Structure 1
Amino acid sequence: LCIDISRNNGTIAAIFAANDTYDEIYAKVSVHGVFVLHKPTSKTLVSQAVSLMVCARERLRSLEKKVGNTESKLDEIRIVNKAKWLLIDQEGLSEADAHKYIEKSAMDSGITKRLAAQLIIDKYL
């Protein structure tokens, strides 16, 4: 359950393990980002573990945001490139001219390059 929770939502999970099974459980779940705490444990240790989990989650959120931004930029590049190649193929433009055409279309229409490129793709496909 803890492994599934950690995988699906980018959340941080913890599990308590008895001393005699701690090593076995740790070996199975730690590679999935699950925190494992000895059982019995103290209130202080649980508090410290929760603090570490909060820090880890915030770091994950930051990385997820960066990955999302990077994926969005790559997607935009793909769309613009596809539109450029359509302009090259359909209109006989050079790559530089196709790129300028997309940028000018975006500026003239007050839209993003991505949207301008998508409109070109929709026009030719």
Structure 2
Amino acid sequence: MATIIVAFPKLEEARAIRNLLIRKGFDVAMPITSGAQVINQADSLASGIIVCGYKLSDNMVYSDLYEYKPKSFELLLVTSQNRWEECRDNNIVCLATPLKVNELVQTLEMMIQAQVRTRKKKRSTPTRRSPEEQRIIDDAKHLLMERNNMSEPEAFRYIQKCSMDSGNSMVESARMVIGLYEE
């Protein structure tokens, strides 16, 4: 689950929201009051969501925080509705004050699900090989086809299986095949 960073200019507000989120089952970091602390905390974490107010104690505004945060973090701004227009231009998720618990929880769940979908999609896209790497794999396939009378799909599956069994990449396994036949 994504870690949530709660940042508001007043420590009491940040603590109250943090405690509320913990009671609702979220993984929440220590409450923070300044933008610099948020960025430091976010840099030490893999991914997550920053819940913050319009302006923090070090006069960092949400838009600066949005710009400096790691790309793996989303921003949820809690502010009055008259400031929402600025947020929409930056594609930032906003919640109105006074804050309603159900809206906060549902919004965070939606944002976490979006992050999970993005990570799954990123993992499922195959990695692109460089022309040099593809040439190495092709050379290994051709060696297997010539010397072991394999078809191209069989040679590819052999390299793929060696790769999976050894925990190496396809290119490393292809290099090993080439190395075996060059001796």
CA RMSD of aligned residues (A): 3.7
Q: Is the 8 A contact 2:137 2:171 kept in 1?
A: no
Aligned: 1:22 with 2:84: yes
Identity %: 11
Cα distance in 2 for partners of 1:58, 1:77 equals 32
**CA offset at residue 23 of structure 1?**
0.8
Cα distance in 2 for partners of 1:65, 1:19 equals 37
Any stretches of 5+ residues in structure 2 without a counterpart?
1-64, 148-154, 164-169
Larger helix fraction of residues: 1
Could you tell me which amino acid in structure 2 is paired with residue 12 of structure 1? E
1:8 to 71, 83, 90: 71
2:97 to 34, 39, 52: 39
Show structure 1 runs of 4+ deviating over 6 A: none
**CA offset at residue 99 of structure 1?**
6.5
Q: Which has the higher contact order (CA 8 A, sep 6+)?
A: 1
Cα distance in 2 for partners of 1:40, 1:98 equals 70
Cα distance change on mapping 1:99 and 1:17 into 2, 3 Å: farther
Q: Paired residues, what number?
A: 100
Aligned: 1:118 with 2:175: yes
Report Cα offsets for 1:78-117 as digits up to 9, x if no partner. Answer: 52x32267x5xxxxxxxx735625939x66xx83352243
Q: Is the 8 A contact 1:2 1:13 kept in 2?
A: yes
TM-score norm. by structure 2 comes to 0.42
Aligned: 1:97 with 2:148: no
**CA offset at residue 4 of structure 1?**
3.9
**CA offset at residue 16 of structure 1?**
1.6
Q: Is the 8 A contact 1:83 1:118 kept in 2?
A: yes
Cα distance in 1 for partners of 2:67, 2:86 equals 15
Q: Secondary structure at the match of 2:93?
A: strand
Q: Is the 8 A contact 1:14 1:36 kept in 2?
A: yes
Cα distance in 1 for partners of 2:97, 2:146 equals 66
Any stretches of 5+ residues in structure 1 without a counterpart?
88-95
Task: Specify the alignment match of 1:63 in structure 2.
Answer: 121
TM-score norm. by structure 1 comes to 0.56
Task: Specify the alignment match of 1:83 in structure 2.
Answer: 136
Cα distance in 2 for partners of 1:61, 1:55 equals 10
**CA offset at residue 26 of structure 1?**
2.0
